[in-house]
């Protein structure tokens, strides 16, 4: 089966054929490091992490490059406000960004170039554009001559002649002194140094690169041209990506990115997220009260290209859905590890095996169709329901346990392909109240300091007491655990305990 993806430039889904068989080269624009990232940015990075993980699962060797824009007007402004250097501000928020990405379960890129460390490649590219007649220098500034690249506007679906009326948009973005440009559409490749700003020596005097040229230089250097997929949030399609493409194709005379992919915007309670509306949410603040897997579940329940509506209610629903899967997996683990020797086989192995195979097929079909994660999650939920039904009210034989474990592993694997990591039992034990250790010392002679072990010791002591009809001890264990928030359920396979919920 072929993966199909929606290509922004072609405005339709196309078959994805990598340039080099078995390999995928991807470039996704990274953050400008002047602040902690908000959850709208996080959606972009989580979307492309999902896409990357799926390509890897499908067997592609993916090279993923993501830059850090660590010199920029916003960084300089913040540094001036705080009496620090731009480099200090950039270093602080680069580190914070990497920490936020790790906290959100986003894989590190293979290469994470920083703009300030790639200045020679940018100067070389600007010079190449000047030499080719695509750029010109005015008093230390260098501008790209937009009309020298006839395909300009083709990525974002704009007509260059209709942009004349819209050039205010370009004028307002602080790209430089408007009266220096030959054409209002032209944009800065290199900006002459102003006092107090970070600057580098260049053939045009000291200055710093424009934003767009950074990505053109870094993607060329680390991936070569053309590369397979260029990604980013849909707000970057114009002018940033349009400009990256114009510069790169004008300079090198070949295709820049073979495919363009853009993730949709995020809204809060159906409103655009903005500082003025007071609904601006930073990723790290959301993760203070939300499990990363629940945030990802919420995000992947909407197709990556569609607008995503973020709300506390939807987050709670996503968390509940995640908890249902976790409980199902724990239940399967418990049933399998408490399988009864010599018991009759009660699970229809052929039927369950077919359901697992069908779920994997449905998952791959959904993801092959432009990374339809909501449909892929649907396939996983269906399988969870089927496995739950197959084992309900049953004591498993050893053979059953094997079949059930295969199904359980399938659920965990497919979720991990989407980047949703289930909490393991270790985490469950970590949530137990520490008082259970003292209770186990009292009633079960437990001498350790591990809450999970303490609960196991208490259950063993209770089982022994019940066998000996020592009801005082058996009831004492049950009541002591209940007082700490545990529930004991007696099943044909022995007692099992749950905490909370």
> Alpha-carbon distance 342 to 174, whole Å?
77
Q: Could you say whether residue 315 binds Zn ion (CB under 5 A)?
A: no
Q: Which of these ranges, 29-37, 310-318, 354-362, 425-433, lies near Zn ion under the rule CB under 5 A?
A: 29-37
Nearer Cβ to Zn ion (170/455)? 170
Q: What's the closest the beta carbon of residue 240 comes to Zn ion, in angstroms?
A: 6
191 is annotated as contributing to ligand binding = no
Q: What's the closest the beta carbon of residue 238 comes to Zn ion, in angstroms?
A: 12
What's 339's DSSP letter?
Answer: P
Instruction: Enumerate helices (H) and strands (E) in the chain, giving the number of each.
Output: 17, 15
> Alpha-carbon distance 28 to 233, whole Å?
9
Q: Which of these ranges, 47-55, 154-162, 210-218, 307-315, lies near Zn ion under the rule CB under 5 A?
A: 210-218
Work out the burial of residue 496: count CB atoms within 10 Å of its CB; fewer than 13 is exposed, 13-18 middle, 19 or more buried. Answer: middle
Nearer Cβ to Zn ion (29/76)? 29
Q: Could you say whether residue 299 binds Zn ion (CB under 5 A)?
A: no
215 is annotated as contributing to ligand binding = yes
Phi-psi region at 115: left, alpha or beta (left = phi > 0; alpha = psi -120 to 50): alpha
Q: Could you say whether residue 29 binds Zn ion (CB under 5 A)?
A: yes
Strands (E), 51-201: 61-65, 135-138, 141-144, 187-192
Q: What's the closest the beta carbon of residue 30 comes to Zn ion, in angstroms?
A: 8
254 is annotated as contributing to ligand binding = no
Nearer Cβ to Zn ion (32/302)? 32
Q: Which of these ranges, 58-66, 90-98, 207-215, 417-425, lies near Zn ion under the rule CB under 5 A?
A: 207-215
> Alpha-carbon distance 488 to 459, whole Å?
9
x/- binding map, residues 216-255, to Zn ion, per CB under 5 A? ----------------------------------------
CA distance readout (Å), 252 to 70, 187, 248, 342, 398: 25, 19, 6, 71, 64
29 is annotated as contributing to ligand binding = yes
275 is annotated as contributing to ligand binding = yes
Q: What share of the chain is helix, strand, coil (3-state, %, to 5)?
A: 50, 15, 30
Determine contact, residues 488/475, Cβ cutoff 8 Å.
no
Work out the burial of residue 305: count CB atoms within 10 Å of its CB; fewer than 13 is exposed, 13-18 middle, 19 or more buried. Answer: middle
Cis peptide before 455 (omega within 30 of 0): no
Q: What's the closest the beta carbon of residue 362 comes to Zn ion, in angstroms?
A: 35
CA atoms within 13 A of residue 126's CA, in its CB half-sphere = 29
Q: What's the closest the beta carbon of residue 244 comes to Zn ion, in angstroms?
A: 6
Classify strands 308-310 and 271-272 as parallel, antiparallel or unpaired.
unpaired
Q: What's the closest the beta carbon of residue 29 comes to Zn ion, in angstroms?
A: 3
Q: Could you say whether residue 65 binds Zn ion (CB under 5 A)?
A: no
83-122: contacts with Zn ion (CB under 5 A): none
How many amino acids of this chain bind Zn ion (CB under 5 A)? 2
Determine contact, residues 60/3, Cβ cutoff 8 Å.
no
Residue nearest to Zn ion (CB): 215
> Alpha-carbon distance 27 to 47, whole Å?
13
**Residue whose token pair is 């709300």:** 311
Rg, Å, the chain Cα set:
28
Q: What's the closest the beta carbon of residue 66 comes to Zn ion, in angstroms?
A: 9
Q: What's the closest the beta carbon of residue 241 comes to Zn ion, in angstroms?
A: 7
Q: Could you say whether residue 215 binds Zn ion (CB under 5 A)?
A: yes
- Residues annotated within the binding site are 29, 215, 240, 244, 275
By the criterion CB under 5 A, which residues form the site for Zn ion? 29, 215
- Residues annotated within the binding site for Zn(2+) are 29, 215, 240, 244
- Residues annotated within the binding site for ATP are 275
């Amino acid at each position: 089966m072929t993966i199909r993806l929606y290509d922004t430039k072609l405005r339709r889904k196309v078959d994805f054929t990598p340039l080099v068989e078995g390999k995928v080269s991807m470039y996704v624009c990274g953050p400008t490091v002047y602040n902690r990232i908000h959850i709208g940015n996080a959606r972009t990075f989580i979307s492309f992490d999902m896409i990357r993980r799926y390509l890897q699962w499908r067997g592609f060797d993916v090279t993923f490059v993501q830059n850090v824009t660590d010199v920029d007007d916003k960084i300089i402004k913040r540094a001036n406000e705080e009496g620090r250097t731009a480099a200090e501000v950039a270093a602080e928020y680069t580190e914070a960004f990497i920490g936020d990405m790790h906290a959100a379960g986003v894989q590190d890129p293979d290469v994470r170039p920083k703009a300030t460390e790639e200045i020679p490649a940018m100067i070389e590219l600007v010079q190449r554009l000047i030499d080719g007649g695509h750029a010109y220098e005015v008093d230390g500034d260098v501008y790209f001559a937009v009309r020298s690249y006839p395909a300009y506007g083709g990525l974002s679906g704009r007509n260059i002649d209709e942009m004349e009326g819209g050039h205010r948009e370009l004028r307002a973005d602080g790209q430089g002194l408007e009266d220096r440009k030959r054409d209002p559409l032209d944009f800065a490749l290199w900006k002459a140094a102003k006092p107090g700003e970070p600057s580098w020596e260049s053939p045009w005097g000291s200055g710093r690169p424009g934003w767009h040229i950074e990505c053109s230089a870094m993607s060329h250097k680390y991936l070569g041209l053309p590369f397979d997929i260029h990604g980013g949030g849909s707000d970057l399609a114009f002018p940033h990506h349009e400009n990256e493409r114009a510069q790169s194709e004008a300079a090198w005379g070949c295709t820049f990115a073979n495919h363009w992919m853009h993730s949709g915007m995020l809204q809060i309670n159906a409103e655009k997220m903005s500082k003025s509306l007071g609904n601006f949410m930073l990723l790290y603040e959301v993760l203070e009260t939300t499990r990363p897997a629940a945030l990802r579940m919420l995000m992947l329940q909407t197709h990556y290209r569609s607008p995503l509506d973020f709300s506390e209610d939807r987050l709670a629903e996503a968390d509940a859905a995640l908890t249902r899967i976790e409980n199902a997996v724990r239940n399967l683990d418990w049933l399998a590890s408490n399988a009864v020797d010599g018991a009759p086989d009660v699970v229809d192995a052929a039927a369950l095996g077919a359901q697992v195979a069908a779920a994997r097929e449905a998952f791959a079909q959904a993801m092959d169709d432009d990374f339809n994660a909501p449909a892929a999650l649907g396939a996983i939920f269906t399988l969870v329901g089927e496995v739950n039904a197959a084992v309900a009210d049953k004591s498993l034989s050893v053979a059953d346990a094997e079949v059930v474990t295969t199904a359980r592993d399938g659920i965990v694997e497919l979720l991990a392909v989407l980047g949703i990591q289930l909490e393991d039992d270790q985490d469950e034990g970590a949530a137990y109240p520490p008082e259970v250790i003292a209770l186990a010392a009292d009633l079960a002679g437990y001498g350790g300091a591990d809450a999970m072990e303490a609960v196991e010791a208490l259950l063993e002591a209770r089982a022994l007491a019940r066998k000996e009809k020592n009801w005082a001890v058996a009831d004492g264990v049950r009541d002591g655990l209940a007082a700490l928030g545990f529930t004991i359920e007696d099943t044909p396979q022995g007692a099992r305990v749950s905490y909370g919920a």
